[in-house]
Amino acid sequence: MPHHRSAFFISDRTGITAESLGHTLLTQFDSLDFQRETVPFVDTVEKAQALAQRISEVAERDHLRPLVFTSIVNPEVREALRLENVVLIDFFETFIGHLEAEIGQKATLTVGKAHGMVNEEKYDHRIEAVNFSLNHDDGVKLKDLDEADVILVGVSRSGKTPTCLYLALQYGIRAANYPLTPEDLGSPTLPKILLPFKDKMFGLTIDPNRLHHIRSERRPDSKYASMDNCRREVNEAESMFRHHSVPFISTTHKSIEEIASTIMHKAALGRKF
């Protein structure tokens, strides 16, 4: 008997929807080990039939029915994946019928609406937000912070850059970030460059032990990564946040998605597209 259960996330486009929804469901079974595979762009019956053959071979190998999550629009393509030796979780079949009945209108069944470039204006806004975050990473560009929707502040390696990029890509938020250096942390006073933008600031902090581990991978045996320095920087950053009533959260045990959602909620930010 295998130590895992095979799970396939299959889509006629990028696979993001099937993967996200399927992953969410599978996380509720944390005692099991799932061998996951995402298969995008299955948009013809021929492709689906070839994939179905491969999934059948996996079922014979594992002696367990693979879990197949699909977000395929075309019913004929979906049907080609409906095999006796697989468990098919069809997101379109599950939800579209209920929505059609409630709304009183047939779905268009158009491929690529969720993650395609359907609206160029919205897409351009999202790309502009990503470029803004890249240009304002680690305090590199500070002269137009008034254009930022939020400014993430925290010590080095507390998760500012990936959170800024996620906010930009997923929500269209113009997110800048400013790293608190040892010079900034000498007193609870905010860096002068940030004073005019205090209402846009949001702090990120992290457990000193976790910070020590992250920094040691980057610069081992350095003062920058030492436990004492990590503890001091985190304590002084948090003191600064409290002194100026800057909201902050710990990134220690949170995913980027959780961090971004928390910031959106606590900072009362809205999706920009």
Q: What is the pLDDT of residues 116-145, one digit of tens each?
A: 445 567 767 778 888 899 888 877 667 789
Quickly list H helices, the chain: 16-26, 45-62, 75-79, 91-103, 120-135, 160-171, 208-218, 227-243, 256-266
- State the virtual CA torsion across 138, 141, 144, 148 in degrees, nearest 10: -20
Domain that holds residue 53: 4-103
154 marked among binding-site residues: yes
Q: How many domains does the chain have?
A: 2
Structure tokens at 127: 């790309």
DSSP 3-state helix, strand, coil percentages of the chain (rounded to 5)? 50, 15, 35
157 marked among binding-site residues: yes
pLDDT digits (tens, 9 = 90+) for 48-72: 999 999 999 999 999 999 999 998 9
Q: What does the pLDDT read at residue 1?
A: 45
Question: Could you say which DSSP state residue 183 is in?
Answer: T
Q: Give the confidence band of 104 by pLDDT, cuts at 50, 70, 90.
A: confident
159 marked among binding-site residues: yes
Distance in angstroms (rounded) separating the CA atoms of residues 271 and 121: 14
Determine, yes or no, domain membership for 77.
yes
104 marked among binding-site residues: no
Determine, yes or no, domain membership for 110.
no
156 marked among binding-site residues: yes
Distance in angstroms (rounded) separating the CA atoms of residues 244 and 250: 17
Phi, psi for 178 (deg, rounded to 5): -130, 120
In this structure, how many other beta carbons lie within 10 angstroms of the beta carbon of residue 197? 18
181 marked among binding-site residues: no
Distance in angstroms (rounded) separating the CA atoms of residues 251 and 210: 10
242 marked among binding-site residues: no
Q: Of the residues 103, 131, 162, which one is the last residue of a structural domain?
A: 103
Determine, yes or no, domain membership for 56.
yes
